[in-house]
Structure 1
Amino acid sequence: MSLREENEEGRDLKKPFLHTGSWYRMNNDSRESSLYSSTQAIRDASISVFVCVLVVALGPIQFGFTAGYTSPTQSAIINDLGLSVSESLIIASVPNIIGWLFISFADDTSFLYMGRLLEGFGVGIISYTVPVYIAEISPQHLRGRLVSVNQLSVTIGIMLAYLLGIFVEWRILAVLGVLPCALLLPALFFLPESPRWLAKMGMTEEFQTALQVLRGFDTDISVEVNEIKRSLPSANRRTAIRFAELTQRRYWLPLMIGIGLLILQQLSGINAVLFYSNTIFQNAGISSSDVAAFGVGAVQVLATCVTLWLADKAGRRILLLVSSGAMTLSLLVVSISFYVKDHVSEDSSLHGILSILSVVGVVVMVIAFSLGLGAIPWIIMSEILPVNIKSLAGSVATLANWLFSWLVTLTANMLFSKSSGGTFTIYTVVCALTAGFVAIWVPETKGKTLEEIQLFFK
């Protein structure tokens, strides 16, 4: 039975949302046309993948803008709407176009709850589907840096929220949050579907066409086509797996690694730092907390740019080890600084030195996070999950990530108000545990095809 025949019965129920790429194709006559000659350079460069990545990167920008919105607007929202601290925490913790409009036109807390909830649904989907889509369309030698564009876009969104929050009031900032998704929606209709998804659904012709579009019209894709086909038969015979089968190494190990990394990413406290950076800097004695927060956002963007270059050179595993190790040390410095400040007079020179030291520690922590723990867990998750459980397992991993994000964000402000030093100590311990988890469990996936990675877990 052919790949197409195996899935023919249910095919009409699962038409691809995105184009398969057939509209790009030209016959021999059109190759002689002026249209062909004008686009030949683009095809030869196989630029389709880069265009697709840039378009879907609008989604993570929305993600980052949502994350960064809280920091510059928290105080103004509380004052204008008369919110209590607990109400503000719940609103900020519930992790898009409609959501932002709800916030912009809010008259009371119910609009804010609904707006953040709607954003959470959108961001939750974006945070999983974008890295998986990029991983599935990317050539193996570029996969790491292209999937890292997802995290880069998130950091750009955060930085934009911090920057614009300095100049515009919170309602206008919410309206501006509509723009990334407003641009993303129409652009999606011009992207090719993931070749691996098309192959899984039995759409052989469409799968090969989409892959040809993504790799360039003059590229020989026969080897990659055969690799993808060989990886699919067992998954196509039965789409569902029994619960007992999850005890097999090929399932439980990638599940544990993917979920573990995404949970530890949130428990490191990064969202507490980013969401409440203004509060942290105020506690550290920094008067221009808005500007300092924007500085952190800019540093995060620059550090993530470095990750794009390193992901396919240094490797995923080493970046995670360096990242978690550096975060442990920087957070230790921050926690000690806050502890000592509680016992030092505000008029002393030591108090000023400790304030600067705590800010430097936070900045180093953000840089270290951006170099590894920010982007790499999403890269690894998109690479290691078996194709027949990728949707379910990826959704569970993303749910776990956002559940712990909610938990950390919910408790952050209250923990900071009680003891900034104690809060950063908790995050220090988590980062140390993350380094140990990576050293024991996480494999190196650099330079391997998605099919080779699956063989490793078998």
Structure 2
Amino acid sequence: MAITEHRDIEKGDNKGLEDLFEPLIDDYSSKKNFNDEAVKKQEVIIQNDSIGMVLLSTAVAVCGSLEFGSCVGYSAPVQSDISIDLNLSVAEYSLFGSIVTIGAMIGAITSGRIADTIGRKGAMALSAVFCIAGWLAIFFTMGTFTLDTGRFFTGYGIGIFSYVVPIYIAEIAPKNLRGGLTTLNQLMIVTGSSISFLLGTVVSWRTLALTGLVPCMLLLVGLMFIPESPRWLAKVGRIAEFEYSLRKLRGQKANIAAETDEIHETIYTLQSLPKARLSDLFNEKYIKAVIIAVGLMVCQQSCGINGIGFYASETFQTAGLSSGKTGTIAYALIQIPVTMLGVFLMDKSGRRALLFVSSSGTFLGCFLAGTSFFFKGQAIFLEWVPLLAVSGVLIFIAAFSIGMGAVPWLIMSEIFPLHIKGAAGSVAVLVNWFGAWAVSYSFNFLINWSPAGTFWLFSGFCILTVIFVAKLVPETKGKSLEEIQASINS
């Protein structure tokens, strides 16, 4: 009998055993499901506990972005008042409006070295000091020299901010939140610009200069409460501070072993490499990333954003509006909600999709604005000219805000290996600010030459942007920084 039962079991007749152990299996399964649910709930608690410091650190960093926006938005609403009070010619005001970009270019050249030497927090603090000095010089100015010097100082400060803020956020954020958090950089830029646009319609240009001090003060206070970038700390060998910073960002109960190992492995690899020089950027391992970053910066500026933004009020008046302030207010109000939509979509739809939509929209906006000026020049459909001009500029700024404003900075912060990030990032930011200077300085002269031709020229560059994105720009959504860099070089 025992032999028969043994043979039945060997043949696979386990019905009796299953009946015997079924209650135990069910009990184990229910406990396992309960434990799995508990683990998931604990992970949520840990994530909620850790995200607070990441959000605080991001909020402090984007005070630099707010300052950036305040600076670039300053010149549009005050052009008429400053020109009258200080008796400035068109050329003198064009110099004032554009010299901020010259300062930013120099800031860009030095930003990578500064951020690598004194850290991301140190670089942000230094930027704030330069901006404070610049705004005070503008406020107390009685002539063009002090006015331009102040504008140059604020430009130098935001040149550093434009590099270090997205880099800092990208280095502290979890990969599933990095896109949205880094895009807050652009949201705060347009918020600062919009605030300057709106306040400039109701306060004097000297008072408006004082409002630029507020983001700097908030930043300097906030820096005392947030950690340094753990990746930078690991890079410079401050291991104890690295672990403390990462733990502070991820939460006391979070398991940071995998992320720590990944960062250490990257740093160990970097230590075996020679110190990066500008010539290294032409190495076949890095040239593709450099082309992508620099190309996106060229695309961002060649669409005309700084010319259209710096002189929005004058553009609306040229189109035939009785007051440029109405269009300027609309320009300011549309940026913030559209940029918020871009923040939401960044980690949903991805970077490439936003770039396609954005560059297509900027083409449409520039084409409509150019067409309106063409109608005005030909003295046809004159009743449509103001509506087409305002619609074109508003479509342009909405489209720019949803993608082209933020995505190039985000991708720049993602695609470079840590050891060349300083040199490569400085080059990309330098190219961006050179383009900003070229567009902002030449815009008034281009408009005097041909308003329609100016906007149609920008629309042509928008088409080239669509082609560039389609051919070269990778999707970086949902990947760690190390994964992105590996995929580019594969």
Q: Bin the TM-score by the shorter chain.
A: 0.7 to 0.9
Q: Name the structure 2 match of 1:92.
A: 97
**C-alpha separation between the residues in 1 aligned to 2:52 and 2:222?**
16
Q: 2:350 aligns with which of 295, 315, 338?
A: 315
Aligned match of 1:386 in 417, 430, 439? 417
Shift of 1:242: 6.0
| Structure 1 residue 45: Cα displacement | 4.8
Q: Is the 8 A contact 1:320 1:376 kept in 2?
A: yes
Q: Secondary structure at the match of 1:287?
A: coil
- The AA in structure 2 aligned to 1:71 is A
Cα deviation per residue 1:335-394 (whole Å; 9 max; x = unaligned)?
11211211126xxxx312222012111101111101110000000000001111101111
Matched, 1:299 2:334: yes
1:218 and 2:253 correspond = yes
Structure 1 position 373 matched with structure 2 position 373? no
Contact 2:372 2:384 survives alignment (8 Å): no
Partner of 2:483: 452
The answer as to whether partners of 1:316 and 1:376 remain within 8 angstroms in 2 is yes
Once the two structures are TM-superposed, the CA of residue 186 in structure 1 deviates from its matched residue by 2.2
1:116-142 CA-partner distances (Å, limit 9, x unpaired): 110011000001100000000001111
CA–CA distance in structure 2, aligned partners of residues 241 and 376 of structure 1: 25
Percent of pairs with identical residues: 43
Letter in 1 for 2:440: T
Matches of 2:462 and 2:93 in 1, distance apart?
28
Go from structure 1 to structure 2 and tell me whether the alpha carbon gap of 1:243 and 1:172 turns closer, same or farther (over 3 Å shift): closer
Counterpart code for 1:73? V
The 8 Å contact of residues 65 and 161 in structure 1, kept in 2 or not, is answered as yes
How many pairs align? 415
Cα deviations across residues 381-424 of structure 1 (Å, max 9, x unaligned)? 00001111101111111111111101100000111122110110
1:134-145 matches, within 5 Å, as: 134-145=169-180
Question: Could you tell me how far apart the structure 2 residues matched to 1:42 and 1:222 are?
Answer: 15
How far apart, in 2, do the equivalents of 1:437 and 1:43 lie?
Answer: 39
53, 56, 78: which is aligned to 1:51? 56
Corresponding letter in the other structure for 1:179: V
Tell me how far apart the structure 1 counterparts of residues 337 and 212 of structure 2 sit (CA, whole Å): 22
Aligned partner of 2:319 among 284, 294, 312: 284
1:71-86 matched pairs, under 5 angstroms: 71-86=76-91
Distance 2:279 2:320 in 1: 55
CA contact (8 A) 1:267 1:408 kept: yes
The CA deviation string for residues 269-307 of structure 1, in whole angstroms up to 9 with x for no partner, is 011111100011101111231132121111011110001
Task: Judging by fraction of residues, say which structure has more helix.
Answer: 2
Distance 1:227 1:110, change over 3 A: same
Q: Secondary structure at the match of 1:57?
A: helix
The CA deviation at 1:228 is: 1.3
Summarize the Cα distance change of 1:142–1:282 in structure 2 as closer, same or farther, 3 Å threshold.
same
Amino acid corresponding to residue 82 of structure 1 in structure 2: N
Matches within 5 A, 1:115-154: 115-154=150-189
**Inter-partner Cα distance in structure 2 for 1:288 and 1:219:** 56
Q: Distance in 2 between matches of 1:110 and 1:241?
A: 38
Other-structure match for 1:255: 290
- Partner residue, 2:442: 411
TM-score, length basis structure 1: 0.88
- Per the alignment, in what secondary structure is the counterpart of residue 476 of structure 2? coil
Distance 2:342 2:62 in 1: 16
1:181-231 CA deviation, whole Å, 9 max, x = no partner? 122112212210111111111222221221111111111111111111222
Aligned to 2:169, the other structure's residue is in SS state helix
Alignment partner of 1:204 is 2:204: no
Partner of 1:55: helix, strand, or coil?
A: helix
Q: Where does the alignment leave 5 or more consecutive residues of structure 2 unmatched? A: 1-44, 101-130
Task: Please name the residue that 2:368 is paired with.
Answer: 333
Decide which of 431, 437, 446 is 2:462's aligned counterpart. Answer: 431
TM norm structure 2:
0.82
How far apart are the structure 2 equivalents of 1:409 and 1:388? Answer: 33
User: Distance between the aligned counterparts of 1:264 and 1:302, measured in 2?
Assistant: 23
2:65 counterpart of 1:60: yes
State the alpha-carbon separation in 2 of the partners of residues 59 and 294 from structure 1: 23
Aligned amino acid, residue 388 of structure 2: L
Residues 243, 163 of structure 1: CA spacing in aligned structure 2 closer, same or farther, 3 A cutoff?
closer
**What are the superposed Cα offsets for residues 233-284 of structure 1, whole Å, 9 maximum, x if unpaired?**
2211234146665443331111111111112211110111111000111011
The amino acid across from 1:57 in the alignment is: V
Task: Work out whether residues 249 and 457 of structure 1, in 8 Å CA contact, stay in contact via their aligned partners in 2.
Answer: no
Taking a change above 3 Å as real, the CA distance of residues 191 and 334 of structure 1, as seen in their structure-2 partners, is same
User: What SS does structure 1 have at the residue aligned with 2:286?
Assistant: helix
What CA distance in whole angstroms lies between the structure 2 residues aligned with 1:258 and 1:53? Answer: 23
* Partner in structure 2 of residue 27 of structure 1: none
| Mapped partners of 2:227, 2:260: distance in 1 | 16
Whichever residue aligns with residue 70 of structure 1, its letter is S
Deviation at 1:324, TM superposition (A): 0.6
Could you tell me which residue of structure 1 aligns to residue 388 of structure 2? 357
Corresponding letter in the other structure for 1:343: Q
Distance 1:177 1:361 in 2: 29
Do 1:99 and 1:115's aligned partners in 2 also have CA atoms closer than 8 Å? yes
Aligned match of 1:194: 229
